[in-house]
Amino acid sequence: MLRSRITPCLLVRDRGLVKTKNFKPFKYIGDPMNAVRIFNEKKVDELIVLDIDATSKGLSPDFTMIKKIAAECRMPLCYGGGIKTVAHAEHIVSLGVEKIAISSSFISNPNLVTDISLKIGSQSVVVVLDVKKNIFGKYEVYTHNGTARTKNTPLELAKLAVKLGAGEIVINSIDLDGAMSGYDLVLAKNLRDVVKVPISILGGAGSLNDMRSLINVCGVIGAVAGSLFVFKGALQAVLINYPSNTEKDSFLENH
């Protein structure tokens, strides 16, 4: 039986763990390997690691770093950043990564989703859509760390990605990135109603109550967070954390 997942998302830049707000400032917060070890101990459902520099700088995936993270990781791992070819995806999976995530490569070459899914299976192909509202208040997908417009809506791109073979969609809110003020429930519900593969929502989570609200509105869905699982308190002291099984079960049991 499917149930909602509570997933930390780690952002990596120059092999260091960083955090952003609205995709702009970069705050170094430590070694990603230390975070992975702590998440191992806390038995997280899944872990997403995104190299936010790879695509914007035109770099290939950092296979050495990926190998180290995959070897340390005891939970299902999804990696994204710089994946431009089927060979990239196959090599990353061979290192022990369960899922690969693509974003700008999907926009520039949609058929890459099909090509990769035929090689490693659609269940291992995740399309990440970075979304923000334009000046007219309409949702639009951006790439390259939120700097390049696509002029496409997340709904139409999500449906295309699924049609081409994506097994999961992650919606990442640029407007709510690092805000810790709650998820965009309207956007999440709109996507959940029409996209039939697993969906995860990233951006805005500031508490477990925010995750509870997301699940109550959308049913079975992935609740992903960055700041919530790396910061603690009003001053945002760095503290890697994750809810206990009891805390999770308290609001997942009915979903």
Q: What amino acid is encoded at 190 in this protein?
A: N
Residues 6+ apart with CB under 8 A from 186: none
Task: Report the DSSP pairing between strands 27-30 and 16-19.
Answer: antiparallel
Cβ contact 55:104 at 8 Å: yes
Burial 119-150 (b: 16+ CB within 10 A, else e): ebebebbbbbbbbbeeeeeebbbbbbbbeeeb
CA-wise closest residue to 46 among 78, 68, 69, 12:
78
- Told to judge if 130 belongs to the known catalytic residues of this protein, a careful annotator would answer yes
Catalytic option among 130, 177, 184, 210: 130
Task: Report the interhelical angle of 86-94 vs 111-120 (nearest 10°).
Answer: 30
CA distance 173 to 23: 9
Round the CA-based radius of gyration of the chain to a whole number and report it: 17
Query: Which residue do the tokens 């496409």 mark?
Result: 152
Residues assigned a catalytic role? 130
